[in-house]
Amino acid sequence: MRKLSRLLPLLLLLSCSKGTKVEISGVIENAEKAMLYLDEQGIGEIRQTDSVRIKKDGRFVLKDRIENPTFYNLHTGNQQIIPLLLTPGTYAELQADMLDFVNGYKIDGSAESLYLQEMNRTLAATKRQVDSLRKILRENPDAGEEFTRELAASYEEIIQRQRRYSIAFVLEHLTSMASIYALYQKIDDNNFVLNENRDIQLVKITSQSLDTIWPGSEHVQALKRDAANLEASFYGQRWQQVVESAESTFPDIRLPDPNGDTIALSSLKGKVILLSFWATWDQASVNHNIQLKGIYDSYHSRGLEIYQVSFDHDREAWVRGIEYDELPWINVSELSYPESRVASIYNVEELPAVLLIDRKGQIVGKNYNRIDLDRNIQRLLNEPS
């Protein structure tokens, strides 16, 4: 018992030192002696991590220890909340005024928290515009069809502008957990900003990117589950529809190559076609292209064509990737990913992806391993035309 009691202080010290320290300090004006709370926003729950009474001069210090980037709510016990995203080792400083707590704060030392502030300000502006249009519609119940159509067009433009902003933010911050925040923002209680089926791909690539950096984060794991559930409920059905509707042909693709020449997938009909989907930002795709070069060298002279669709959005990166890896086959792109019509039509769930099309234009399978891909290409090439 005596030995155990000697170990207790050490065990307590070790338990208290778990994780890396984060600290948020600063000054809040007009808040003398008010309580300030720092709550961790978990998955489906809020956990209070620290609290302090604001000093007479408005100063405060709040602390926590974390192992992964963590979302927090900073508040004084009411509905006025400042969202924070702190990474391990962050020492941030905040200046605010209780008279305009949510809208007027400034924060230094936490780029991730600044991202949240920027997103919230952009979304708030969008909501004000939407509310204004809804008010006009309510106040003009007898307005004519043309008036209503104009309002609907204005509403759609506002929503699409917000969507473009949110999509661009996620694509530019795939290594930041602030991208999760962007994925789940809402226009109102019932509508997410990113609520279209094509946004599933955005959820997936974000979860894959973050999982390589912060695999221990509960938010990253929740995002992975969401991505898997969304795919299970939609993409499985879509792929079956594509195969069943293909019959003796395939959905055509007509996209420009790096030279600006539009090349149709249907122009290759009569040959064995390997339809490939890739992106320069996906390392697995780049590695897969090395395998495809071996396949192309072996079978192109016998009638195999590779028609490769890039899911890039940066033209320079796409062209540079083709030139650097010396890809000899047809390469085309919409340069609009994740707003990709082709990804939706062909139900591309992950990258890289391949579909094999026979000489009659029938889709015969997808995503083979290297051995099965070789075997099936040889089989199709040996079949009579």
Average pLDDT over residues 162-183: 94
Number of domains in the chain: 3
Looking at the predicted structure, is the pLDDT value of residue 309 above 90? yes
Question: What confidence category does residue 256 fall into, taking pLDDT thresholds of 50, 70 and 90?
Answer: very high
Q: How confident is the model at residue 147 (pLDDT cuts 50, 70, 90)?
A: confident
Quick check: is 201 in a domain?
A: no
Q: Are residues 270 and 320 in the same domain?
A: yes
Query: Domain of 123?
Result: 110-195
Helix, strand, or coil (residue 190): coil
User: Is 160 a domain residue?
Assistant: yes
Looking at the fold, whether 302 and 376 belong to one and the same domain comes out as yes
Burial of 17 (0-12, 13-18, 19+ CB in 10 A): exposed
**Same domain (yes/no): 362, 318:** yes
User: For residue 302, which amino acid is it?
Assistant: R
Same domain? For 260 and 132 the reply is no
* Mean pLDDT along residues 43-70: 94
Q: Does 62 share its domain with 137?
A: no
Which tokens hold the place of 50?
Answer: 């620290």
pLDDT bracket for residue 2 (50, 70, 90)? very low
Specify whether the CB–CB gap between 280 and 324 falls below 8 A.
no
Q: In this structure, are residues 162 and 182 in contact, taking their beta carbons and an 8 Å threshold?
A: no
How many percent of the chain have pLDDT more than 70? 91
- CA distance linking residue 308 with residue 327, whole number of Å: 10
Expressed in angstroms, the distance from the first to the final Cα of the chain is 86
HSE (side-chain half, CA atoms, 13 Å) at 379 = 11
Collapsing DSSP to helix, strand or coil, 68 comes out as coil
Inform me whether the pLDDT recorded for 240 exceeds 70: no
Q: Which of 179, 195, 211 is the last residue of a domain?
A: 195
287 exposure class (CB count in 10 Å sphere: 0-12, 13-18, 19+): exposed
What does the alpha-carbon distance between residue 122 and residue 100 come to, in Å, rounded to a whole number?
18
The answer to whether the beta carbons of residues 182 and 217 sit under 8 Å apart is no
The answer to whether position 38 is within a domain reads yes
Taking residues 220-241, report their average pLDDT: 74
Flag whether pLDDT at 7 surpasses 50: no
Q: How much is the mean pLDDT over the chain?
A: 86
> Quick one: 88 and 139 in the same domain?
no
Range 215-231 average pLDDT = 90
Interatomic CA distance for residues 305 and 321, integer angstroms: 20
Q: Say yes or no to pLDDT of 232 above 80.
A: no
- Average confidence (pLDDT) over 133-151: 80
How do beta strands 91-97 and 106-108 pair? antiparallel
The answer as to whether 102 is a domain residue is yes
Q: What is the pLDDT of residue 8?
A: 47
Task: Find the range with the poorest average confidence among 277-291, 322-336, 360-374.
Answer: 360-374
Asked if pLDDT for residue 61 goes beyond 90, the answer is yes
Please report which confidence band the pLDDT of residue 375 belongs to, taking 50, 70 and 90 as the band edges: confident
Given a cut of 50, whether residue 248 has pLDDT beyond it is no
**What is the pTM assigned to this prediction?**
0.60
Averaged pLDDT for residues 127-151: 83
Do 361 and 314 have their domain in common? yes
Q: What is the CATH number of the domain that holds 259?
A: 3.40.30.10
Q: Where are the beta strands (DSSP E) in 67-178?
A: 70-75, 81-86, 91-97, 106-108
Mean pLDDT of 174-191: 91
Query: pLDDT tens digits, residue range 269-286?
Result: 889 999 999 999 988 899
- Domain finish residue from 132, 162, 195: 195
> Poorest-confidence range of 98-102, 103-107, 144-148, 252-256?
144-148
Residues 62-89, mean pLDDT to the nearest whole number: 94
Q: Does 17 score more than 70 pLDDT? A: no
Q: Is residue 209 part of a domain?
A: no
* Domain stop point among 108, 127, 142: 108
Q: Looking at the structure, do residues 97 and 129 belong to the same domain, yes or no? A: no
- Position 212 in a domain: no
Does one domain contain both 258 and 361?
yes
16 has pLDDT over 60:
no
What pLDDT shows up at residue 368?
80
DSSP class of residue 86? E
Q: Report the pLDDT value the prediction gives residue 149, as an integer from 0 to 100.
A: 80
**Do 265 and 343 reside in the same domain of the chain?**
yes
298 located within any domain = yes
Enter the tokens of residue 224: 């992975």
Verify that 303 and 367 share a domain, yes or no: yes
Cα(219)–Cα(100) distance, integer angstroms: 30
**Mean pLDDT, residues 323-341 taken together:** 89
Task: List helix spans (H) across 51-110.
Answer: none
Ramachandran quadrant class, 252 (left: phi over 0; alpha: psi -120 to 50; beta: rest):
beta
The average pLDDT across 357-375 equals 83
Q: What is the structure's pLDDT at 246?
A: 45
Question: Number of H helices and number of E strands within the chain?
Answer: 10, 17
Question: Is 7 among the domain residues?
Answer: no
Same domain, 93 and 141: no
